[in-house]
Structure 1
Amino acid sequence: MLHEFWNKFGRAGSLAGLMVAALSASPAGAETPQFPAWRSLRDPVVNMRTGPGEDYAIRFVYRRQFLPIKVLRLFQGWYLVEDPDGARGWMMMRFLNKTPTALIRGKGPVEMHAGPGEGTPLLWKLAPGLVGRLGGCKDGWCQIDVERHVGFVPEGRLWGAGKP
């Protein structure tokens, strides 16, 4: 096809055609990834490697589907990531997704309330280490769903909420 284009329009036409093809190669409205960003583990078992490739040693094996992960940058299909404990390494893009999740952190349980604020009814006390699906956050409170228990917790007690 390119050969036919070249013969019909010559060098100037082919360069213009290639430029149009290059500009139209990405779909309209395609997102440019912004980093850092929150992602979560897609699979129940995911390896963190010491470098961006399968030839690099495995640093950690995560057995925590939906664990929130901070993505620092992208390199040839691999994310440089940071886990909730601050460990950094590389994960293949396909093992992470954009499902918003959060991990309860800090010492002692955190109270889950029916609404965003301590004045709302107490629903549950959540132990550090629990992971749930994250809803929206506003005024320092985030909605979270932990095993179908839905309520609000302070944003400061969550890894995976707010600005990465």
Structure 2
Amino acid sequence: MRALSRTTFGRAALVLLVFALGLGLARAGAEDIRGPVTNLPLPRFVSIKAAEANVRRGPSLTHRIDWVFKRRNLPVEITAEHGHWRRVRDRDGAGGWVHYALLSGVRYVIVTSEMLDLLAKPEEDARVMARLEGGVVAQLGACEPFWCRIEAGGFKGWAPKSALWGVKADEIRE
């Protein structure tokens, strides 16, 4: 058996170290990415707090307003942070920069299916409590692996996550 020289051994160790780090980075998902300002996960869902929220091209008041969110409690996804500004996108992928004071951590979702049965329990054959149309904004409650409890128009019940935008597929909430 041939002995390895220090140089060869050092290179082999370096290759193994880089490989191990690469595996660790590959395993690190989006959940491990943190905002540089808040240290909160990116991306993450929040909601529009104000009745109107200007969406700008860049993270300052000097940047042009591209459009305005005109729906309070609308869920949006934060994808980046810069000072007091958050880059957000809506369910259609449209977005821009919004001042953090116009955002809330209170979670809401949008019904994405044409018609959604709100159920008494997180079971497909549970009693229907109400029917929600597509586009309805509902407050988000607890979430299990495939179901979330939501509230809209005075009605509370369970809905499949797959029919909601504003909650991650693997998100669990108490």
TM-score tier after normalising by the smaller chain length: 0.7 to 0.9
Which residue of 31, 39, 42 maps to 1:32? 39
Please report the TM-score for the alignment, with normalisation by the length of structure 1. Answer: 0.77
2:153 to 128, 147, 152: 147
Tell me whether 1:72 sits opposite 2:79 in the alignment.
yes
Identity of aligned residues (%): 28
Partner of 2:136: 130
| Unmatched runs of 5 consecutive residues or more in structure 1 | 1-30
> Is the counterpart of residue 156 in structure 1 residue 166 in structure 2?
no
Q: What is the rounded CA distance, in whole Å, between the counterparts of 1:55 and 1:32 in structure 2?
A: 26
Q: Any stretches of 5+ residues in structure 2 without a counterpart?
A: 1-37
- Which position in structure 2 is the counterpart of 1:121? 127
TM-superposed CA distance for 1:60, in Å, is 1.6
Q: CA deviation at 1:53?
A: 1.0
Q: TM-score of the superposition, structure 2-length normalised?
A: 0.73
How many residue pairs match? The answer is 133
Contact 1:42 1:95 in 2 (8 A): yes
- 2:129, 2:59 → 1: CA distance? 43
Contact 1:105 1:158 in 2 (8 A): yes
Query: Aligned-pair distance for 1:109?
Result: 0.5
| Contact residue 38 and residue 68 of structure 1 kept, 8 A | yes
Residue 147 of structure 1, CA deviation:
2.0
Cα drift, residue 32 of structure 1 = 2.2
The residue identity in structure 2 corresponding to 1:62 is: F
| Greater relative CO (CA pairs within 8 A, separation 6+) | 1
